[in-house]
Amino acid sequence: MSARILSSFLLTVILPVALPVLSRAADPSAEEISDKQAAAYTAAFNKGDVASIASMFTEDARYTVDSGVVIEGRSAITTQTEAFFSSSPDARLELVVESSRFLTPDVIVEKGLASVTGTAEPDTTRYTSTQIKQGGKWLIAELEETTLPSADPAAEALSSLEWMIGKWKATGEGIDAESEAIWVLDGHFITRTTRIAQEDGESFVSVEVIGYNPVEDEIQSWIIDNEGGFGSNLWRRDGNKWLVRSQATGPDGGQSSSQHILTVLDDKRFGLETINRIIDGEALPNRDQLEVVRVSESPEPTKKQ
């Protein structure tokens, strides 16, 4: 093959094939695009630059926050972001892009972790971001955040009962009772000791261990007393109220059940009402609500022992 023919062959056959390959190699990868976008979003967030953050969303973007609330549209996202920085001006963001891929040449799905500090409750969420290319820019069309499972679900679940920690006293309806709740075993359980004065001068004493059942995803407790009885409780929360369903076995084998309603009034008082009392199949009258008053905080240490 002559040099002229070879040159013509290269120009007409090989180069038209090679040039598109070279062009595609020069295009940024999905990972490179996501890293650049994440860096820009982080920089704007850490400056509290609401306008720049909003400009990274499409006009009809959907943002699902970790609570499940959906914010629709750039305007609403702007309002929500302004409110956030108004209450948390020192908030700082760190993004870790875990994966990024093209769905089409103009659509990227990105997944990663978002950690926010400098707020009342710092947290880390897992996010999924769908970004589309509009007018030469990559914009967020959908963003969804979900809360990561707690690394310590028992401690997290029991934190909702932190108000109970301390010494308490209740009087009324012929009742004179004291109780003390403390953290034990690195905050994974609460023990509550209750003493109820009796007419003979003795005290009825019960010891309750409150913990979290991860299988049922609920708070349960187990109770024993100085007369040889034992029982179990199931705790359910409804706002500032707790419904405690109790099943007990007496020292003579008798069976009883009841429900206790604990209403948190403030950090120094809660109401205690007992309803649906049944002993050995016989229904007993409900007990009116008692006011239980905090006597003192438990001494340190609290959660760590």
The full set of domains in the chain, from first to last, is 28-147 (3.10.450.50), 154-296 (2.40.128.20)
Q: What pLDDT does residue 297 have?
A: 67
* pLDDT, tens digit (0-9, with 9 covering 90-100), for 17-28: 444 444 445 689
Nearest-5° Cα angle at 6, 4 to 7: 65
The closest of 200, 272, 283 to 242, measured between CA atoms, is 272
* pLDDT, tens digit (0-9, with 9 covering 90-100), for 217-264: 899 999 999 999 999 999 999 989 999 999 999 999 999 999 999 999
CB 62 within 8 A of CB 72: yes
* pLDDT, tens digit (0-9, with 9 covering 90-100), for 62-73: 999 887 889 999
Distance CA 114, CA 96 (A): 7
pTM value is 0.55
Instruction: State mean pLDDT over 40-60.
Output: 96
Which backbone phi and psi does 231 adopt, to 5 degrees? -170, -175
CB 74 within 8 A of CB 54: yes
Distance CA 209, CA 199 (A): 27
DSSP structure string for 176-191: EEEEEEEEETTTTEEE
* pLDDT, tens digit (0-9, with 9 covering 90-100), for 263-285: 999 989 999 999 999 999 999 99
Q: Which amino acid is at 260?
A: H
73 Cβ contact partners less than 8 Å away, ≥ 6 residues apart: 59, 60, 61
Distance CA 205, CA 66 (A): 44
* pLDDT, tens digit (0-9, with 9 covering 90-100), for 116-175: 999 887 788 999 999 999 999 999 999 999 887 766 888 888 999 999 999 999 877 678
The closest of 107, 109, 111 to 134, measured between CA atoms, is 107
The closest of 59, 235, 256 to 141, measured between CA atoms, is 59
CB 147 within 8 A of CB 123: yes
Helices marked H in 130-233: 153-158
Instruction: State mean pLDDT over 190-202.
Output: 91
Q: What pLDDT does residue 199 have?
A: 81
